[in-house]
Amino acid sequence: VNVMMELETIAAISTPMGEGGIAIVRVSGPHAIEAVDRIYKGKHSLSTVDSHTIQYGHLLDGEAGEKIEEVMVTVLRAPKTYTREDIVEINCHGGLVSVRRVLNVVLNEGVRLAEPGEFTKRAFLHGRIDLSQAEAVIDLIRAKTDRAMNVALQQVEGRLSKLIQRLRQELLETLAHIEVTIDYPEHDVEAVTQQLLLDKAQYVQSKIEDILRTAEQGKILREGLSTVIVGRPNVGKSSLMNALVHENRAIVTDIPGTTRDVLEEYVNVRGVPLKLVDTAGIRETEDLVEKIGVERSRSELKKADLILLVFNYTERLNEEDRRLIELVRDLKSILIVNKMDLAGELDVKELQKLAGERRVMTTSLLEEQGIDELEQAIAELYFTGDVEAGDMTYVSNARHIALLNQAKKSISDAIEGVKLGVPVDIVQIDLQKTWELLGEILGDAVSESLIDQLFSQFCLGK
């Protein structure tokens, strides 16, 4: 896309606004460097420093000329930047107040506040990324774990784009072949064309199906597997939750407007994103079954992707334990015998028998024993087979999924047509439609309003 008019210089806070840490105000556009330079005091003027270098200095209040903030400033000159424009990134000590102050002085220099997703929109407008890559950035922003992040990154790197481009190329060649047949009917290659058409169309169809099959996985990964910790009172449920949260980086969401639900913790366990759900009524209820009844507790538990069922090694299995085991019978679960540091009463062999196929792990959360093994077991549950291969393009974007489904429909129509002996110039219409639908994923032929709508989904500062 060629942008003729000069774009305004824009700025936004581009890091999560949390407590402490470093926050970044990102400025992008033709006047980014000179605008920040006017309010920056350091060893060198920003207009003279090398690109991609970091400067230490202070920001000044434009009018009073007083130092207001200690900053590290990164100057990134076009075109080797995210937006392909000049970018200045101002790193300051976090905290809402100081980062807002920095943003304010920048905005006083004729810089406009960026709309949500506007940086990425610029990257798109300057041809740095295509639409599916831009959309992957939305997922990236929302990605709560490394693995989800990788999925998004792969898209950013254009995996999906490449795959779709290849399919479109196949379709294009097939369409070209049909043109020849139609233009020179005397060649009588109709029969050959039919077979070729069928082969190509079925190939494209199976590829689209492959991509769609990953859609569900992509979704799970982005959201995190909802994990519920269950067990009788005092067995160590809270301790387990704490251990998982502390051992693993707790994942902080940076989506504005989502107040963090204190009842949920996102953790990354060996690449498996878990959403540990502290559902009141499940994790902490004294006697779950007694309190809310078998049916209700079962339907609550069914909502979970994974159940961690905890037992106390110092006590024999009782009725409540057995009921819980029964309750999670065909749900994905791991049984954990905790407090292994103490004298045992629980018969682990008996528990393993009751558990059937499910893993029984032993831990001492107090002495931090068995947690690694438990994490490994959790990871193994989810990353066996093709999910682990990590070589697949995940689709996790609702618009892509919808378009792929439409494309699948129209390619199936084409196949059906060929099989029924419909004239090729009719089949051609379905192929063309498939080609166009796949093109929409790449951002070809999308209307301006669609682009605007997409970019407005971004959070501020990306």
**Residues within the interface to ligand GDP (CB under 6 A):** 231, 233-239, 338-339, 341-342, 364-366
158 binds, among Zn ion, ligand GDP, none (CB under 5 to 8 A by kind): none
Query: Does residue 56 sit in helix, strand or coil?
Result: strand
Shortest Cβ 344–ligand GDP spacing (Å): 12
Q: Which amino acid is at 185?
A: P
252 binds, among Zn ion, ligand GDP, none (CB under 5 to 8 A by kind): none
The string of DSSP letters for 222-264 reads HH-EEEEEEESTTSSHHHHHHHHHHHSPBPPP--TT-PPPTTE
Residue 202 or 285: the one with the smaller Cβ distance to Zn ion is 285
Shortest Cβ 373–ligand GDP spacing (Å): 14
Residue 190 or 290: the one with the smaller Cβ distance to Zn ion is 290
89 labelled as ligand-binding? yes
339 binds, among ligand GDP, Zn ion, none (CB under 5 to 8 A by kind): ligand GDP
Shortest Cβ 286–ligand GDP spacing (Å): 9
Residue 285 or 352: the one with the smaller Cβ distance to Zn ion is 285
145 binds, among Zn ion, ligand GDP, none (CB under 5 to 8 A by kind): none
Angle between the 146-156 and 131-142 helix axes, to the nearest 10 degrees? 170
391 labelled as ligand-binding? no
Tell me how far CA of residue 381 lies from CA of 8, 276, 333, 334, 376, in angstroms.
Answer: 50, 16, 9, 9, 9
Residue 35 or 337: the one with the smaller Cβ distance to Zn ion is 337
49 binds, among Zn ion, ligand GDP, none (CB under 5 to 8 A by kind): none
Query: Does residue 297 sit in helix, strand or coil?
Result: helix
Binding residues for Zn ion (CB under 5 A): 237-238
The residues, any chain, with a CB within 8 Å of residue 139's CB and separated by 6 or more, are 148, 151, 152, 155, 222, 396, 397
Shortest Cβ 374–ligand GDP spacing (Å): 12
The token pair that represents 209 in the structure block: 């199906």
Residue 238 or 285: the one with the smaller Cβ distance to Zn ion is 238
235 labelled as ligand-binding? yes
The residues, any chain, with a CB within 8 Å of residue 59's CB and separated by 6 or more, are 39, 40, 41, 67, 68, 69, 71, 90, 92, 102, 105
297 binds, among ligand GDP, Zn ion, none (CB under 5 to 8 A by kind): none
Residue 132 or 239: the one with the smaller Cβ distance to ligand GDP is 239
CA distance 197 to 425: 12
Q: In what order do the strands lie in the sheet with 272-277?
A: 264-269, 272-277, 225-231, 306-312, 333-338, 360-362
Shortest Cβ 292–ligand GDP spacing (Å): 17
Q: Do the bridges between strand 225-231 and strand 306-312 make them parallel or antiparallel, or are there none, so unpaired?
A: parallel
Residue 190 or 368: the one with the smaller Cβ distance to ligand GDP is 368
Residue 9 or 239: the one with the smaller Cβ distance to ligand GDP is 239
452 labelled as ligand-binding? no
116 labelled as ligand-binding? no
236 binds, among ligand GDP, Zn ion, none (CB under 5 to 8 A by kind): ligand GDP
Residue 143's closest CA among 277, 273, 269, 15? Answer: 273
165 binds, among ligand GDP, Zn ion, none (CB under 5 to 8 A by kind): none
Q: Which helix (H) or strand (E) holds 452?
A: helix 448-455
253 binds, among Zn ion, ligand GDP, none (CB under 5 to 8 A by kind): none
The token pair that represents 403 in the structure block: 């378009």
Shortest Cβ 69–ligand GDP spacing (Å): 43
What count of residues does the chain have? 462
Shortest Cβ 317–ligand GDP spacing (Å): 16
Asked whether the bond before 79 is cis by omega within 30 degrees of 0, the reply is yes
Q: Do the bridges between strand 67-76 and strand 53-60 make them parallel or antiparallel, or are there none, so unpaired?
A: antiparallel
Q: Other CB atoms closer than 10 Å to residue 58's CB: what's the count?
A: 15
Shortest Cβ 280–Zn ion spacing (Å): 11
254 labelled as ligand-binding? yes
Residue 238 or 406: the one with the smaller Cβ distance to Zn ion is 238
234 labelled as ligand-binding? yes
Shortest Cβ 284–Zn ion spacing (Å): 6
Please report, in range form, the residues annotated as the binding site for (6S)-5-formyl-5,6,7,8-tetrahydrofolate: 26, 89, 128, 462
Please report, in range form, the residues annotated as the binding site: 26, 89, 128, 234-239, 253-259, 278-281, 462
